[in-house]
Amino acid sequence: MLKGIGRVLIDEQTLMRRIDEMGEQITRDYQGKDLVLVGILKGSVLFLADLVKRIKLPLVIDFMAVSSYGSSTHSSGVVRILKDLDEEIEGKDVLIVEDIIDTGLTLNYLTELLLSRNPRSLKICCCLDKPSRRKVPVKVDYVGFSIPDEFVVGYGLDYAEKYRNLPYICILDPDEVE
């Protein structure tokens, strides 16, 4: 375990147990469908990699990279597309995979954008949800863990681009990092 970051909020075993359940549920829900998982870079990559191994269906993986104007704490809700999908999603069953939902502004924008491309269905799956921070309503279909309003790192989530590789979720202690 890396020292000097903060307290562990969700350990690796707890993460994996919940992702087992989510994979089983998604496998049941998407039988016979044309599933495209859309990972939002960069935070979702660890979660997506573990989740797809547990979805026992043929599926396509695609990615988008977005950046909000302003920081995530002062998000304006305007999102710039840095990398768009490689695949067409018209008529497909699209599942957006996110690491965390905070204000909801990113997903609010992305769902509008992807819906305009006429998928057969569009749902959202996130590892972590901070419902107390919501500025716009977002319908989240699969939630790993609801967490309090704390700044967390690990399992894809960064602080200044670091700590994404931690296999667990930690509450960052600002006094402990430079």
**102: annotated active-site residue:** yes
Interacting partner of 105 out of ligand GUN, ligand PRP, none (Cβ under 5 to 8 A depending on kind): ligand PRP
The span of 10-18, 24-32, 39-47, 115-123 binding ligand PRP (CB under 6 A) equals 39-47
Angle at CA of residue 17, ends 15 and 23, nearest 5°: 95
Per CB under 6 A, does 98 bind ligand PRP?
yes
Stretch of residues binding ligand GUN (CB under 6 A), selected from 14-22, 25-33, 90-98, 154-162: 154-162
Rounded Cα distance, 106 and 67, in Å: 9
Q: Which of 39, 102, 124, 166 binds ligand GUN (CB under 6 A)?
A: 102
93 vs 106, beta carbon nearer ligand GUN: 106
Residue from 126, 152, 169, 170 in contact with ligand GUN (CB under 6 A):
152
For residues 25-61, one letter each, b for 16 or more C-beta atoms within 10 angstroms of the residue's C-beta and e for the rest, the string is: ebeebbeeebbbbbbbbebbbbbbebbbebbebebee
Q: Pick from 123, 151, 167, 177: which binds ligand GUN (CB under 6 A)? A: 151
E strands along the chain, which residues? 6-10, 35-41, 60-68, 79-83, 93-101, 121-129, 142-146, 152-153, 169-172
Exactly one of 50, 93, 99, 102 is catalytic; which is it?
A: 102
Helices (H) and strands (E) in the chain, counts: 3, 9
Summarize as ranges the residues that interact with ligand GUN (CB under 6 A). Answer: 72, 100, 102, 151-153, 157-159
